[in-house]
Amino acid sequence: MFTHSTCLAKTTDISSSALRWLASVAFASGVAFVSAAAAEPPRFNLQSTSDFASYGAFYTDLTATYAPFGNLWDEGWRVQGVASARRYSTTDAGQKRIGLDATVDVLGGYQFTPNGWSWILSAGPTFVDSHLYAAPGFAASNTIKYGLKVLTSLYGKPSNDTMVYVQAHYNTASDFYYMQGKTGIAIAPNVFVGPEAAFSGSWVHGYDQTRIGGHISGFTLAGFNTGVSAGFVRDSSYGKGFYAGVNVQSDF
């Protein structure tokens, strides 16, 4: 991993521009996908996840997945592009500081589809624009980081009335790990409700977070496959609070 650090007055504008770009891409792409016909098995998937915590932290991403040699319903190679932003807290020489990471990942991997389940393994380069806001005794700083991201996810239905989903990823540039799992029972065709849990943090920075809550997933809203979640969170920097999140996706 290589880093290049500078202290720039315009770092807030850089991070804000990245967030505006992410939002505009998600909106423009979503309009196009809603109007796309699903006459044949899809080769593209667009997915966006956002969640917010009561103490001010947030995470948002936009993931595009492409099947270059077939379709997403069949086993095969996958190419993924991920743009994300994350607001967090860290400790620097005993002083709590607020950070904002804007990240772009370019991943390649393979999707397995045993017995109707979907399991994907992927990895690739990651680029992180990491901004630390000013704090007493510290000036604002901006760091460009490069590294590797590895990701895996599994989705399946043990029966027509149940679902299971797990995912995990690790980014060496930001030293951030994330693990999530959820299960559910059907309350309508392909609509599931159930518990979820997530664990994330950084071993280097001594930060960790735990989330316990519930979700409703699989319903259609404005043409998108949608899920919502909410629950309680314990954060090693912020303390206890609650969170809420939304996930939308579409195939085309």
- Tens-place pLDDT, residues 45-91: 999 999 999 988 889 999 999 999 999 989 999 999 999 998 887 77
Enter the tokens of residue 45: 């998937």
Instruction: Give the pLDDT band of residue 95 (cuts 50, 70, 90).
Output: confident
Evaluate whether residue 45 is within a structural domain: no
Q: In angstroms, rounded to a whole number, what is the distance separating the alpha carbons of residues 206 and 76?
A: 38
pLDDT in tens, 174-207: 888 999 999 999 999 999 999 999 999 888 777 8
Query: The CATH number of the domain where 14 resides is what?
Result: 2.40.160
Q: Where are the alpha helices (DSSP H) in the chain?
A: 11-35
pLDDT in tens, 127-143: 999 898 888 888 888 99
Question: Among residues of the chain, what percentage have pLDDT more than 70?
Answer: 84
Tell me the whole-structure pTM to 2 decimals: 0.78
Q: What is the DSSP letter of 56?
A: S
Evaluate whether residue 230 is within a structural domain: yes
Evaluate whether residue 25 is within a structural domain: yes
Domain range for residue 99?
Answer: 3-37+56-251
Count CA atoms within 13 Å of residue 123 on its CB side. 5
Evaluate whether residue 43 is within a structural domain: no
Q: In angstroms, rounded to a whole number, what is the distance separating the alpha carbons of residues 92 and 237?
A: 12
Q: In angstroms, rounded to a whole number, what is the distance separating the alpha carbons of residues 126 and 44?
A: 21
Evaluate whether residue 166 is within a structural domain: yes
pLDDT of residue 39: 59
Q: What is the DSSP letter of 202?
A: E
Q: How many domains does the chain have?
A: 1
Evaluate whether residue 229 is within a structural domain: yes
Evaluate whether residue 51 is within a structural domain: no
Phi, psi of 31 (to 5 degrees): -60, -40
State whether residue 18 is helix, strand or coil.
helix
pLDDT in tens, 139-170: 888 999 999 999 999 999 999 899 999 999 99
Evaluate whether residue 50 is within a structural domain: no
Q: In angstroms, rounded to a whole number, what is the distance separating the alpha carbons of residues 200 and 20?
A: 25
